[in-house]
Chains A and B, each alone.
Chain A
Amino acid sequence: MLSRAASSLFWMARYLERAENQARLLDVSLTMALIDVPEDREEQLSVPLLVNGSLDIFMELYGEITPLNLITFLLIDDRFQGSVYNLFRNARDNALHVRGNLSSDVWEGINLSWLEFKELRLKGVTESSASQVFDWTRERSHVFRGAAYGTMLRNDTFHFLRLGTFIERADTTARVLDIRQQLALQPGDERASRPFFEWTALLHSLAAFEAYQTTYGHNIEPMNVAELLILNADLPRSLHGCLQEIASLLEQIEGQRGRRAKRLATSLFANLRYGDRHYIEEHGLHEYLADFLTRIQRIADQIQKDYMGWQI
């Protein structure tokens, strides 16, 4: 397939995945801020900004972290490239590039998301209507995934699209886990309930709360959470799950290119596939995740270099 088309598909899927992740994160942060003690409210609210690295630009534009400012900034602010509004717009722009490669269902799904979000933005979003927007965003993401799964040929169009999804997802899972575990393990905090809150919030924002309970029962143990989100092969948002997909997708792409990307992905996958929680514990969770983030970034760069970059 065309290199430019591969790039558009890759980024289209990344933007859509990012939109969904952002909605989930923000949703959980707002809820947590309500039940947290007043002095920690601001910290709760800042989690989505820390995850996507937008704290500085947010403070510059709004000056104060309030639920409404946060909702406005992360959902509908057209000045922020990472707002859900701009993510949908970029996804739709990329989809337009590859309109011919997508099935009608996928294209119409993405186009409709954009049209509806535009309407939604005109109406404005308030604290009380935000949760409807979160639900809507999640649903649109499900529609995209379902349409892609149910109607697209399993060719390179599908492969590059899915690569975008899993690169983005792996990146998000690692970031959210890292930020939340740092908050949970803050020294000098006497409240016993705090870690519990943090780990629960973490599981909710990665749609893994039910999965945790099924696997480990009701007790929330930090290392169990880490094990689930990093090493569990069956959790769709775990690092292991994402890398398994990435390695297998790269294998299916036609042609002889991409040897380096494949090597990097396979080696990271092997680390997860054969890793264990003791290693992570010894190594330190934060260090482990920092290393993972560097490596997943390198894989993303290499995919773009191998398949989408051209020097003639």
Chain B
Amino acid sequence: MQIKRPSAGMYDEIFDENHLVRPHCEVLRQWLLQADEHLIAEKRREADVLFHRLGITFNVYGEDQGTDRLIPFDLIPRIISAPEWQRLQAGLRQRVQALNRFLYDIYHDYDIIKAGIIPAEQVFANNQYQPGMQSLKLPRNIYVHIAGIDLIRHSDGDYYVLEDNLRCPSGVSYMLENRKMMMRLFPELFADCPVAPIDHYPALLGETLRASSLNPDPTVVLLSPGRFNSAYFEHAFLAQQMGIELVEGPDLYVRNNQVFMKTTSGPRQVDVIYRRIDDDFLDPLIGNPDSMIGVPGLYAAYRTGNVVIANAMGTGVGDDKSIYPYVPEMIRFYLGEEPILKNVPTWQCRRKEDMKYVLENLHKLVVKETQGAGGYGMLIGPASTKKEREWFKNAITARPDNYIAQPTLCLSSCPTFVEQGIAPRHLDLRPFVLSGKKIQMVPGGLTRVALKEGSLVVNSSQGGGTKDTWVLEGEPC
């Protein structure tokens, strides 16, 4: 099979600069070199059929049934060596710990603002800030029970945090199902390679959610917007794996500031809600009044301390792109440690001199909306047209505080099956970090891959796919 090697200046996860397979990826060498085109094509079809049968499809808003789509799955795994993962893990722990401390601080003592590290208006005027969370005591002071941290590897070979997802990060079901699929399709690969298991993730998540309540034996539910949500499969999957009820807004009600679910044997009190609904839709009495997916009175019950919501309300301040540049400072401030994981250098257009630089260098930079997500509302300078740059120039000048800019990073690549054999495609990594009695994670995460040649956008809504992610335990045999 034809293998296209990465071009010079790119970091490839499997091939080094001399086009040799990196030592920890040795297991893939034989496999890739001998891969039979027909066999691979057959395995890809098999994977498609299996994913469809499992129902691992996502709905596209506004489309009729019959258009359940699959997120493309690539058969070549991404491999991370044991020492590299050790370092990533330590860095992720540190980062999530600092972010939780930050969220506690901005709803209680405001130390970081008093210390002049973060300007007050960037916190309090942020539209994700929930004044109602002020002075509310949460068990173990945990705000972010589940975090998804997006990492990329730059051409310098080092990892950078691209984005923290602290609201309702999704994608973990793909991480789990991708592994199951690989083990089913290529069991022989796992025989030769010490891949760290990840299938205990639902157990860890369940443990984390139970630990979030002061009740020693809490009733935990997963609150979903319902089957029209694009991540519904994941909601159902996780609820089933954890053995908890999958509920929708109308299944819950509040009486005397306590939350109950409607069961066949009568009302049953709910202690912990793992919610996959945004803050604004949780309670129509305080958020969006038209929300049909929320629970009226939930917020009052939450404030009374009768129910835990995971993640907490108001965590969106912590993953906002305008707060992102301060995370390394947070780590120094709250933990007194040097950050292990790097931030991408960021220009904040709200600063005059930053804005000037950004406007002069639009063609080189990536510009993002501070509140944007999902790969929307961004400009990729080197790939942009003059018209697009003009548009952003006006937008930035009108609302400088709405935009940040970053250098165009060269995301690392990994060999991927494409139309013509195998070719390098860019990817990122989203590990899921759980904060309960302690901070835990399973080795690995969701690897997303941009399937279009040269594309740096890995989001599934923009044509991205996924890969299985292997973290090695010790040396490969």
Residues of A within 8 A of B (CB): 1-6, 89, 93, 96-97, 99-101, 104, 107-108, 111-112, 115, 118, 156, 160, 253-257, 307-308, 310, 312
B439 touches A (CB below 8 Å): no
B151 touches A (CB below 8 Å): no
CB distance from A251 to the nearest CB of B (A): 14
A4 in contact with B262 (CB, 8 Å)? yes
Give which listed residue, B66, B262, B265, contacts A118 with CB less than 8 A.
Answer: B66
| Chain A residues, CB < 8 A from B239 | 100
| Chain A residues, CB < 8 A from B438 | none
CB distance from B90 to the nearest CB of A (A): 35
Give which listed residue, B52, B65, B251, contacts A3 with CB less than 8 A.
Answer: B251
Give which listed residue, A1, A4, A108, contacts B54 with CB less than 8 A.
Answer: A108
B227 in contact with A93 (CB, 8 Å)? yes
Cβ contacts B267-303/A at 8 Å (1 or 0 each)? 0000000000000000000000000000000000000
| Highest count of chain B CB atoms <10 Å: which of A6, A100, A104 | A100
B102 touches A (CB below 8 Å): no
What is the interface size of chain B, counting residues whose CB is below 8 A from a CB of the partner?
27
Give which listed residue, B251, B255, B265, contacts A256 with CB less than 8 A.
Answer: B265
Give which listed residue, A4, A93, A99, contacts B240 with CB less than 8 A.
Answer: A99
CB distance from B400 to the nearest CB of A (A): 45
Given contacts A100-B240, A312-B253, contact A2 B53 (CB under 8 A): no
CB distance from A124 to the nearest CB of B (A): 16
B264 in contact with A6 (CB, 8 Å)? yes
B246 in contact with A1 (CB, 8 Å)? no
Closest to B252 in A: A2
Bound CA span A9–B265, Å: 16
| Highest count of chain B CB atoms <10 Å: which of A4, A104, A115, A253 | A4
A96 in contact with B232 (CB, 8 Å)? yes
Given contacts A2-B251, A96-B227, contact A107 B264 (CB under 8 A): no
Give which listed residue, B54, B232, B255, B264, contacts A253 with CB less than 8 A.
Answer: B264
Bound CA span A245–B55, Å: 32
CB distance from B127 to the nearest CB of A (A): 33
Give which listed residue, B247, B261, B266, contacts A255 with CB less than 8 A.
Answer: B266
Q: List 15 A-B contacts (CB under 8 A).
A: A2-B251, A2-B264, A3-B263, A4-B262, A96-B232, A97-B227, A108-B53, A108-B54, A111-B55, A112-B53, A160-B264, A253-B264, A255-B264, A307-B264, A312-B255
Given contacts A2-B261, A111-B53, contact A99 B250 (CB under 8 A): no
B236 touches A (CB below 8 Å): yes
B238-259 at interface with A (beta carbon < 8 Å): 239-240, 245-248, 250-251, 253, 255
| Chain B residues, CB < 8 A from A312 | 253, 255
| Chain B residues, CB < 8 A from A104 | 54
| Highest count of chain A CB atoms <10 Å: which of B52, B232, B264 | B264
Bound CA span A116–B245, Å: 29
Closest to B240 in A: A100
| Chain B residues, CB < 8 A from A115 | 52-53
A-B residue pairs, 5 tightest by C-beta: A255-B265, A99-B236, A100-B240, A100-B239, A307-B264
Given contacts A2-B251, A99-B240, A100-B240, contact A308 B264 (CB under 8 A): yes
Give which listed residue, A89, A254, A310, contacts B265 with CB less than 8 A.
Answer: A254
Bound CA span A97–B250, Å: 13
Bound CA span A175–B175, Å: 50
| Highest count of chain B CB atoms <10 Å: which of A3, A156, A253, A308 | A3
